[in-house]
Amino acid sequence: MPETVRSGDVRRSAHSLRRPTPRPLLPRLVLLLPLLAIHRADAQEGGVCAASLNVKPEICANAPGEECDAMNANLITLGDDVQVSICLTSSSTLVGTNIGVGGVLQTGTRFEVALTCKDGSCSAMHESGILEYLGFEPAAGVSSNFLLQTYPGCTDGQACGYLTVSQEVEVTEDSTRCVGTIKARAARFTTTNNGLFYVRAATAPETPFLITDELCIPGLTASGAGTTTALIAPPSPMPLPPSPPS
């Protein structure tokens, strides 16, 4: 006889053939998103920053024994004392904002300094002897020194040199930090450019400025350069000798 199939067995058999209803994915993704964000933060700390260093040579001049005045840089008289300070500001920012960020000059950072250039790029130097080197004074709280010597692109051993910083120096975005002052005396008038000369300072390539602000992804570096001008006035003409008696 054919086997009798009961209706309850049919219902159970049909139920066993149904596929399980899939669980919705959205709630699970919502739960995973915070975990993904934490993982991303661990893998990449800090934001995207743009590193930039503003190098500012600043000149002042004065007659011996008087106070050095930046206004005198445009009218230096032969025999005046001339001071060239190498100063810095971080112009680095957090990208997409106006938030400034700072960093450090690394130990051993060197600045190439050219004291008597013919133009702003220092592609050529004036004749030697315009400034007589007198000495160097580190800025307060900074360990630094200056040595007159030639380097690629600057061939006057009396007007070219390296300023070296022998410790880390913090450079912020909201204040100017000077690292030292070169002292000289105006010794010679140059007819080229009618007495005008340029001073240029630039970081040497081997020790760049390092961004250390916690807002930034670590490892960003920058170099910097800056130029300023000064003018030595022509010497006063010698008075004419008195006319002989007629």
In the chain, what is the straight-line distance between the N-terminal and C-terminal CA atoms, in Å?
Answer: 167
Residue-wise pLDDT for 87-107, tens only, equals 999 999 999 999 999 999 999
- Rounded to whole angstroms, the Cα distance separating 35 from 194 reads 69
Lowest mean pLDDT among 5-9, 29-33, 66-70, 185-189: 29-33
Rounded to an integer, the average pLDDT of 212-237 is: 92
Token pair for 151: 């380097």
Residue-wise pLDDT for 153-204, tens only, equals 899 999 999 999 999 999 999 899 999 999 999 999 988 889 999 999 999 9
Q: For residues 10 and 222, which has the higher predicted lDDT (pLDDT)?
A: 222
Q: Taking 80 as the threshold, does the pLDDT of residue 139 lie above it?
A: yes
Position 227 scores a pLDDT of 97
Position 13 scores a pLDDT of 46
Position 238 scores a pLDDT of 55
Rounded to an integer, the average pLDDT of 60-80 is: 91
pTM: 0.77
HEC string of the chain equals CCCCCCHHHHHHHHHHHCCCCCCCCHHHHHHHHHHHHHHHHHHCCCECEECCEEEEEEEEEECCCCCCEHHHHHCECCCCEEEEEEEEEECEEECCCCCEECEEECCCCEEEEEEEECCCCCCCECCCCCEEEEEEEECCCCCEEEEECCECCECCCCCEEEEEECCCEEECCCCCEEEEEEEEEECCCCCHHHHEEEEEEEECCCCCEEECCCCECCCCEECCEEEEEEEECCCCCCCCCCCCCC
Q: For residues 60 and 28, which has the higher predicted lDDT (pLDDT)?
A: 60
Rounded to an integer, the average pLDDT of 62-68 is: 90
